[in-house]
Structure 1
Amino acid sequence: MFILPELPYGYDALAPTMSADTLRFHHDKHHKAYVEKTNKLAGEAGLEGRALEDVVREARRRSDAALFNNAAQAWNHAFFWTCMTPQRARPSGALAQAIDQAFGALEAFKTAFVQEGAGHFGSGWVWLVTGSDGLKVVATHDADDILVREGLFPLLVCDLWEHAYYLDYKNDRPGFLNRWFDNIANWAFAERQLAAANGQGQGFRYPSEAEPEGRRSPDIGESRPTA
C-alpha cells in the first residue's frame, strides 16, 4: 500500500514563492487523491506490493491509462516535493560543471528551463534530465514522466499543472517558473541525482510505508541512463 509522503519542510517554508495555501491544497488534496486511486487500481491490477516505479512502468506496458496516470502522478509529486527547498542556493560542483557544458552558463540554462515550461501547452512537467548526451531540458504532458523514458534520468522537475501555481500567480506561469528557479529549486538534490546517474550513491525512489519520506533520496533503479 502506497503512502502519502510527508513534505520535507513546513507548509509555509517556501513562501512567498509558494504559499502555504498552495502546498496544503496541492499536497493534502491532489497528491493524496492520486495515492488513494493508485492503491485501489494497483490492487485491482494484481500489482499490490510492487514498488511504485514498477507499477508505473507496468501500467504503461499494459496500456492501462487510469493506473498509469494516477501512479505516475503520485510518483511525480513525491519527486517534485524533494526538488524544492527553503534554502536558496545555486548549482555547484559537478552539477554546475555539467550545466556549463550543456548550456554554456546558468542563465542560459534558466532561460531554456523557463521557456520550455512556459511554452508547454496544457498541463505537465518540465524536467532537467541527464543521459548519454549530457544534460537537457524536456517537458512531459499530463502524468507522463521520465520513468518510462529509456536512457534518461531525472535530476529536477517543476510542476506545470495550474494547481501548482494558480492560487499564487493566477495565469502567470512564466513568473512562477522564474521565481521557482531562483528561490526554491533544490540544487543539492539535483547534484545528488546526477551523482546517482553516474553510479555514485543512490537516487530518488518513492518511499515505502516502512521508510517514510522526508529527508531521504533512495535509488531510482533501472532508469539510469545507458552509454
Structure 2
Amino acid sequence: MPIELAALPWDRTALEPHLSGDTLDLQHGRHQRAHLDAVNALAPAAGLGETALEDLVRTAQGTLQGHAAQAWNLAFQWRCLKPAAAGGGGEPQGALADAIVRRFGDATRFRQRFATVALALQGSGWAWLLQRPDGTVSVAVTCNTASPITGDDRPLFGLNLWEHAYVLDYREARGRYVEAVWNVVDWAAVASHMR
C-alpha cells in the first residue's frame, strides 16, 4: 500500500511571515512528495512494499533509505511547527524547559547553540534537538538525508537545513531562517516527543 503525503496541519500560508507559502509548497508539495513517490516506487522492488515509513528509515538501505529518511524528517518537522497566531513560538515549558536549562543554562543559550551548530553544517542536512538515552538533551546535525531515528537518540525538534528550506524567503541567510523559525515552533509538540 503506497505511503500517502499527509496534508500540512495548517494552511500553507499560516507560518507567514516567517516561512512563506511558496517555501512550504516547495518543501512539502514538491520535495516531500518526490521523496514519497520514490519510496513508493522503490519499496516494493526491495520486498518492503508494506513497510511503514519509520521502519523503512530504520531498516532499508541505499537510495530507498535516503528517500524514506528525508520524507520522515520533513513530516516530523511539520509536527514541530505551529502558526504564531495559534500559539507557536514563545518559550519551552515544563520538563522540556527544565532539561534545556540543565544542559544549556537557559532558552536563549540553547537557541544560540542550535544556531551555531546549524550554521556550522557545510552543505545540506538537518539540525536537531535530541533527547539522549539518559534523558539529557543535546543539539546535533545530520548530513544530507540522515535521520536520528536510526540511532539511540530521540528527536524532539528537527529543522531542515537544505537550501530549498530557506532560499525563497532568506536567500543564502541560513542564520536569519533559523532565527525566524523560533517564532513558529510548537513547544508543546516538541515536549510531547520526550520519553
TM interval, shorter chain, is over 0.9
Matches within 5 A, 1:97-116: 97-116=98-117
Question: Partner residue of 2:81?
Answer: 84
- SS of the residue corresponding to residue 31 of structure 2 reads helix
Q: Distance in 1 between matches of 2:122 and 2:135?
A: 26
Cα distance per residue 1:169-218 (max 9 Å; x no partner): 0000001001112x011111111111xx2xxxxxxxxxxxxxxxxxxxxx
2: distance between equivalents of 1:98 and 1:129?
11
What does residue range 178-193 of structure 1 map to in structure 2 within 5 Å? 178-181=179-182, 183-193=183-193
Corresponding residue pairs, total: 189
Whichever structure has more helix as a proportion of its residues is 2
User: Secondary structure of 2:73's match?
Assistant: helix
* CA apart distance, 1:89: 2.5
**Residue of structure 1 in register with 2:44 after alignment:** 43
User: 1:1-227, aligned counterparts within 5 Å?
Assistant: 1-59=2-60, 64-86=61-83, 87=87, 88-131=89-132, 132=134, 134-149=136-151, 151-181=152-182, 183-194=183-194, 197=195
- Residue 204 of structure 1 corresponds to which residue in structure 2? none
Runs (4+) of structure 1 exceeding 2 A deviation are: none
Provide the rounded CA distance (Å) in 2 between the counterparts of 1:90 and 1:10: 23
Calculate the aligned-residue CA RMSD, in Å: 0.9
Q: 1:119 Cα deviation (Å)?
A: 1.1
Q: Which letter does structure 1 place at the counterpart of 2:189?
A: F
Q: Report Cα offsets for 1:89-126 as digits up to 9, x if no partner.
A: 21001111111011111111001101110111100000
SS at match of 1:3: coil
Unpaired stretches in structure 1, ≥5 consecutive residues:
198-227
Distance in 2 between residues matched to 1:103 and 1:133, nearest whole Å: 14
| Distance in 2 between residues matched to 1:99 and 1:89, nearest whole Å | 14
Output the CA distance in 2 between the equivalents of 1:133 and 1:185. 21
Gaps of 5+ in 2: none
Q: Which amino acid aligns with 2:140?
A: V
Instruction: Tell me, in whole angstroms, the C-alpha distance in 1 between the residues paired with 2:24 and 2:55.
Output: 27
The amino acid of 1:26's aligned partner reads Q
Q: Matched residue of 1:126: which SS?
A: strand
Q: Aligned with 1:70: secondary structure?
A: helix
In structure 2, what is the Cα distance between the partners aligned to 1:48 and 1:80? 24
SS of alignment partner, residue 154 of structure 1:
strand
* Structure 1 residue matching 2:43: 3-state secondary structure: helix
**Partner AA of 1:175 in structure 2:** R
SS of alignment partner, residue 95 of structure 1: helix
Q: What's the TM-score, normalizing by structure 2?
A: 0.94
